Amino acid sequence: MKNNEGPKTLLEAVKYFADEDVCVRTLSALRWPDGVVPCPNCQKTDHYYLATRRVWKCKACKKQFSIKVGTIFEDSPISLTKWLPAVWMICGAKNGISSYEIHRALGVTQKTAWFMLHRIRLAMSAGNFGKLNGEVEADETFVGGKARNQHAWQRVGKGRGSQDKAAVHGMIERGGKVVATTVPNLTGPTLRGNIERFVHPSATVYTDEFKAYAMLGKKFDHHFVDHAVEYVVDRVHTNSIENF
Ligand SMILES: [Zn+2]
């Protein structure tokens, strides 16, 4: 969204993005500035656009996909008519936006507003709204040390109450974007779910040999490496953690 076009005030933004076609056009322009839309299934670029349902149908593989597929919005039922005014608010705010302000402005619950704020900040720290792709390294950490090596982790893993540190799951696209998000535990389903949420299925994923990552190969081209860890931790520390 450039400064000289689009809505100027919050009220204008809410009205502007109330039109789902406008949302799809806006997000398309952000994701694919050159206008070439790759099918998330086969990467081919020849499609029909089914305007009534706002989905693309790939001419090659016949699969349909919406603008949300392949973005951090994909697994959320929240409408783009809520997401985009929130993005507009967060991008435009000089001094930051609270989840309370999003709740008030968009009429979503405080819990939803917090979720949206968190997701949008992650996307902004990663540089765009697409998932990580190419070569992606994933690891988990406490700030200040490897999560699973810390005694505190055992307490965290057994439930709430004694957790004085949050575990952070970091994913980095080599040469580029970083996503770091707090996780409630270090189980396979949690870490795999997080990777599916933020990493494109065509990516190559590198982790160490922690058993929680064992089943990743079912969904991704998955490789085990040593010392992915320090790299990820350094990048997470320098780029993203302080945003929380
Ligand atoms: Zn296709």
For the chain, 244 residues long, the average pLDDT of each consecutive 10-residue run is: 66 91 89 85 92 95 92 88 91 83 94 92 73 86 56 42 63 79 86 90 86 90 70 47 39
Question: Which of the 8 DSSP states describes residue 72?
Answer: T
* pLDDT, position 41: 87
* pLDDT, position 209: 82
* pLDDT, position 128: 66
Question: 87 alpha carbon to ligand 1 midpoint, in Å?
Answer: 29
Angstrom distance (rounded) from CA 224 to CA 182: 23
Does residue 2 lie within any of the structural domains?
no
* pLDDT, position 234: 52
* pLDDT, position 151: 47
Question: 131 alpha carbon to ligand 1 midpoint, in Å?
Answer: 18
Question: 55 alpha carbon to ligand 1 midpoint, in Å?
Answer: 13
Question: 228 alpha carbon to ligand 1 midpoint, in Å?
Answer: 32
Q: How far is CA 109 from the centre of its chain?
A: 20
> What is the extent of the structural domain holding 65?
10-126
Question: 106 alpha carbon to ligand 1 midpoint, in Å?
Answer: 35
Provide the number of structural domains found in the chain: 2
Judgement on whether residues 22 and 119 belong to the same structural domain of the protein: yes
Residue 238, classed as helix, strand or coil, is helix
Last residue of a domain, one of 82, 106, 126: 126
* pLDDT, position 157: 44
Predicted TM-score (pTM) of this structure:
0.62
Question: 40 alpha carbon to ligand 1 midpoint, in Å?
Answer: 7
Mark 79-111 as b/e (b = at least 16 C-beta within 10 Å).
ebbbbbbbbbbbeeeeeebebebbbebbebeee
Angstrom distance (rounded) from CA 218 to CA 8: 46
Question: 188 alpha carbon to ligand 1 midpoint, in Å?
Answer: 30
